[in-house]
């Protein structure tokens, strides 16, 4: 499980955008978003750098925790 700090997520749309971006690249990924903590937990075959790239493509800043 990889955990990322993500800035800029504020609502359900944000959760869906981030989740869909990651699952679009890895449909089997397990993505859990905690808006209150600003964290995204991902169980995936994708490298951490790729997950960060996908999140940033949606307009949020992200870094591995």
What is the DSSP code string of the chain?
Answer: -EEEEEES--SHHHHHHHHHHHHHH-TT-EEEEETTTTEEEEESSS-HHHHHHHHHHTT-EEEE-
Contact between 61 and 8 under an 8 Å Cβ cutoff? The reply is yes
Domain spanning 2-64 has what CATH number? Answer: 3.30.70.100
- pLDDT at residue 54 in the model: 98
- pLDDT at residue 1 in the model: 94
- pLDDT at residue 47 in the model: 97
This prediction's pTM: 0.94
pLDDT digits (tens, 9 = 90+) for 25-53: 999 999 999 999 999 999 999 999 999 99
**Phi, psi for 5 (deg, rounded to 5):** -85, 130
């Amino acid at each position: 499980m990889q955990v990322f700090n993500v800035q800029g997520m504020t609502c359900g749309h944000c959760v869906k955008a981030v989740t869909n971006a990651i699952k679009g690249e890895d449909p089997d990924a397990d993505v859990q978003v905690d808006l209150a903590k600003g964290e995204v937990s991902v169980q995936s075959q994708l490298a951490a750098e790729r997950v960060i790239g996908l999140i940033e493509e949606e307009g949020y800043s992200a870094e591995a925790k």
